[in-house]
């Protein structure tokens, strides 16, 4: 965006939309559903980008050993899309048709959500296949730090509702976080069942959530335009 001449501190609404920002009119009425994913890669200035990348780096380092590289990417895309979908339906009901959503925050909260669930598995502390387990005290400390991160940032986001120059898409944050929690639940029992079984469960869970998001998007479309005959 910056190389294209966009202001690196405060990009215009037009620039955000041009590069894939999320907006009810574009997504629902013009059927540009790809924006619920592309918006996770668009940021409102370099400071916004740097903050999200710092959070993503730290959570990614923690999540990759538990989910794998492609698992982290899948969670990023699915929870980011879930957050933006929830934001879209919220703005639709609120008749807030001009707001533009952008940023990876919903996906960051989604990764935090799934980590909170996965780090609760006590079997991770047990040695397996010649590898030492993670001490339970360390698992508790890691999980506590992720919970604190999520709670603090959700609180800061909702505090902006009371006033201030910064608008935070709390609905996207909340949607991504809840989606991450929900995705972690069916993965939890298979984490220590062997790599093949765990990866198979991952694929099933990710495919199921992708289908649910598609059905949710379809429901929004039917809600607005009615069923096609």
* Per-residue pLDDT tens digits for 154-193: 888 877 665 554 578 899 999 999 999 999 999 998 887 7
Answer yes or no: are the C-beta atoms of 125 and 98 closer than 8 Å.
no
Alpha-carbon distance of 94 to 87, in angstroms, equals 10
Residue 134: give its domain's CATH number: 1.20.1540.10
Sign of the CA dihedral running 56, 57, 63, 68: positive
C-alpha 186/C-alpha 183 separation (Å) is 6
CA distance 11 to 32: 21
Mean pLDDT of the chain: 87
Residue 5 has pLDDT above 90, yes or no: no
Q: What is the pLDDT of residue 169?
A: 85
- pLDDT tens for 114-148 read 999 999 988 887 766 555 667 778 888 999 999 99
Give pTM, 2 decimals.
Answer: 0.90
Query: Which of 198 and 125 is assigned the larger pLDDT?
Result: 198
Distance in angstroms between the alpha carbons of the first and the last residue of the chain: 42
Which residues form the domain of 206? 2-225
Q: What's the number of domains the chain is made of? A: 1
- Alpha helices, H only, 7-45: 13-18, 24, 35-38
């Amino acid at each position: 965006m910056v190389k294209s001449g966009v202001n690196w501190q405060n990009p215009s609404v037009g620039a955000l939309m041009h590069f894939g920002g999320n907006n009810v009119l574009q997504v629902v009425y013009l059927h540009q559903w790809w924006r619920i994913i592309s918006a996770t890669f668009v940021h409102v200035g370099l400071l916004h980008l740097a903050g999200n990348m710092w959070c993503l780096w730290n959570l990614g380092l923690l999540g990759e050993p538990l989910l794998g590289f492609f698992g982290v990417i899948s969670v990023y895309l699915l929870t980011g899309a879930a957050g933006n979908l929830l934001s879209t339906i919220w703005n639709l009901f609120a008749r807030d048709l001009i707001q533009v959503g952008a940023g990876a925050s919903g996906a960051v909260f989604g990764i935090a959500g799934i980590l909170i669930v996965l780090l609760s598995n006590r079997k991770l502390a047990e040695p397996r296949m010649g590898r030492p387990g993670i001490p339970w005290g360390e698992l508790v400390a890691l999980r506590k730090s992720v919970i604190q991160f999520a709670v603090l940032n959700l609180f800061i986001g909702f505090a902006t509702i009371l006033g201030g120059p910064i608008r935070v898409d709390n609905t996207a944050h909340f949607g991504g976080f809840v989606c991450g929690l929900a995705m972690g639940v069916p993965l939890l029992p298979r984490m220590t069942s062997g790599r093949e079984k765990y990866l198979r469960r991952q694929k099933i869970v990710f495919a199921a959530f992708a289908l649910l998001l598609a059905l949710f998007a379809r429901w929004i479309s039917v809600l607005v335009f009615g069923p096609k005959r």
